[in-house]
Structure formats: structure tokens, C-alpha cells
Amino acid sequence: MKKIKEFILCSRPHSFPAALAPILVGSSFALSYVDKFNWLNFFVFLLACLFIQAATNLFNEYYDFKRGLDKIDSEGISGSIVKGKLTSKEVFNGAIFLYIISLILGVYLSFVTSYYLFLVGLICMLFGYLYTGGKYPIAYSPFGELVSGFFMGTVIISIAFYLQTGYINVETIIISLPIFILIAMILLANNIRDLENDKVSGRKTYAIVVGKKNAVKTMLISFGVVYILNILFFVVSIGSIYNFLVLFTIPIAKRIIVGFSNNNDKKTMAPFMVLTAKLTILIGFIMAFANFLKVFFSF
């Protein structure tokens, strides 16, 4: 039982809501295009995404430990390996096991839709592994934010929409952009916090390449784009007036920017990295709620 609890901790369950938000956005957006919602496809896909997210986190723990990046006092990790509660082999095998379950679920979804979906799923899993695995980990490059935002934002939203409608349209891609950006900002916040440690370890993240000041500016501009996009969704009728609800989160975004601007220590910046994840989840849920209200309470 202790091992199971430790595996759950090592899989970083606090990150699961960030994986749920894109599914809710894509699925709720599909409500305007279908007469009947497929709950089975929704829940199977939800489980597959959560397992892939957990496996990716386990790979992250494994490879960061192997490369000597994780210490007992490191921020943002479970510490299961460095504290001796799980062996590195157990963590790696756990990730493989979760990938196998995800593959099985993917086979089912491909069977009821299209086998092209299985290929897309394999690509997602590959990039989940390559994020910290392989010879040239994506997380150690300036492209980690873009890759994470694309796969966890646009791709997941598009698949969720596809599983309900059987197709993907341009509007789905457009509606995914705020989540694409916000998930990228979670990674950027993480990299701003770990900037000094990452320099020592030889990483070349975007935050290191442009410097902390410009990284925070990037975050500020990105948050602004998220709010502007939600307003535009109403203007062009992709969304509705309910998308304006995201504007109530502006004080949170402001707090994040001020927090990163005024702090340089990783421990004092850590709360703002967590707040960035919470902002992403909150806006994702608000956007999904707005899609729901648009269908059932047309304005």
C-alpha cells in the first residue's frame, strides 16, 4: 500500500487538472455540433490522457534523477527516488505500465472512430517520453513550452472534439489557442523558477536563452493574448458573451507577473509557478463552462 501511495505521489496528481481542462474545453465545444454527447468516448479519453500525463511525470522524475538534476530540496518534484522511497527502475517501469494501459484505451477509441487516432496517440506518447527522455530532451531546449502547449492544448482539445463529432474544424484549432498558450506558460513559469539551477545543469530553456526579464515579459504578453482571444471569440461568434467571464481572472495573472518580477529565489518564486497552473486550470474550466452556457442558454 505504501508503494502505491508513493507511486501516486510520484505521478504528480496536482498536475492532473491541467490535463483535464483541455478535454473539457474540446468536449464542451463539440456540444454545438452534435445532438448526442458520447459519454463513453469522453471518459475513456479522459482516463487515457490522465495515464499519459502520469507516465510523462514519472519519466520526468526518472530522467531528471539519472542526470543528477533532482536533489532532496528540489522544487516541483515528488522526491520519491532521491529520498529512497522508490527505485529509479520502479519509477521507469511504472511509466511503461501506464503507457501500456493508455495504448489499450487508445486501441478501443481507434476501433470506434479511426485508426488514424491511434497513430496520433502514439505520437503524443512519443513526445511525452522525449520531453525528458532520449539523447536531446525537449525540456532542456528552448522549445519545451511550444511542444507542451501544442500537444496538451491544441492536440488534446482537437481529439476531444473529434471523439464527439467525427471530424476537426478550423474553429476547434482557434478555440484551443488560449489553452495552448496557458499550458506553455506553466512550463515557462517552471523554467523561470529553475533558471539558475538549469544553467548549472547545461539546459538551454527559453527562459535561459532570453533571460528572466524577457521571459516574464513573454508571460505578460501571453496572458494578454489569452484575454484578447476570448473577447474575439465572442466578436466572431466562435464563442459567446460568456467567454468574458475569463476577465475575472486578470487579478490572478497580474499577481503572477508581479510575483515573478519581484522575486529571484526559487523558493519565493515557487508559489507563483503553482498559481500559473491554477490560472490555466481556472481559465480552462471557465472556457468549458462558457461553451456549455452558449449551447443551453443562448445569448
CA 104 to chain centre: 22
Q: Where are the domains of the chain?
A: 2-296
The whole-number average pLDDT for the span 92-113 is: 91
State how far the Cα of 196 lies from the Cα of 221, in Å rounded to an integer: 23
* pLDDT-based confidence at residue 78 (cuts at 50, 70, 90): low
* Residue for grid cell 500500500: 1
Statement: residue 84 has pLDDT above 70: no
The cell numbers describing 190, all together, are 517552471
Model confidence pLDDT, tens digit, residues 159-210: 999 999 999 999 999 999 999 999 999 999 989 998 888 787 778 889 999 9
CA 46 to chain centre: 13
Better pLDDT: 135 or 250: 250
Q: Tell me, what's the pLDDT at 71?
A: 55
Share of the chain above pLDDT 90, in %: 54
State how far the Cα of 282 lies from the Cα of 224, in Å rounded to an integer: 16
State how far the Cα of 237 lies from the Cα of 18, in Å rounded to an integer: 26
Q: Contact at 8 Å (CB) between 124 and 155?
A: yes
Q: Tell me, what's the pLDDT at 131?
A: 83
State how far the Cα of 274 lies from the Cα of 132, in Å rounded to an integer: 20
Name the 3-class secondary structure at 68: coil
Question: Which run of H or E residues covers position 219?
Answer: helix 212-235
State how far the Cα of 125 lies from the Cα of 87, in Å rounded to an integer: 23
State how far the Cα of 39 lies from the Cα of 241, in Å rounded to an integer: 27
The whole-number average pLDDT for the span 221-229 is: 97
Q: Contact at 8 Å (CB) between 240 and 234?
A: yes
Task: Please name the residues in contact with 95: beta carbons below 8 A apart, sequence gap of 6 or more.
Answer: 54, 55, 56, 58, 59, 62
Q: Tell me, what's the pLDDT at 75?
A: 47
State how far the Cα of 211 lies from the Cα of 204, in Å rounded to an integer: 11
Q: Contact at 8 Å (CB) between 183 and 244?
A: no
CATH fold group of domain 2-296? Farnesyl Diphosphate Synthase (1.10.600)
Model confidence pLDDT, tens digit, residues 163-174: 999 999 999 999
**C-alpha closest to that of 277 among 148, 125, 176, 160:** 148
pTM of the model: 0.91
Statement: residue 247 has pLDDT above 80: yes
> What torsion, rounded to 10 degrees, do the Cα atoms 130, 131, 135, 140 define?
160
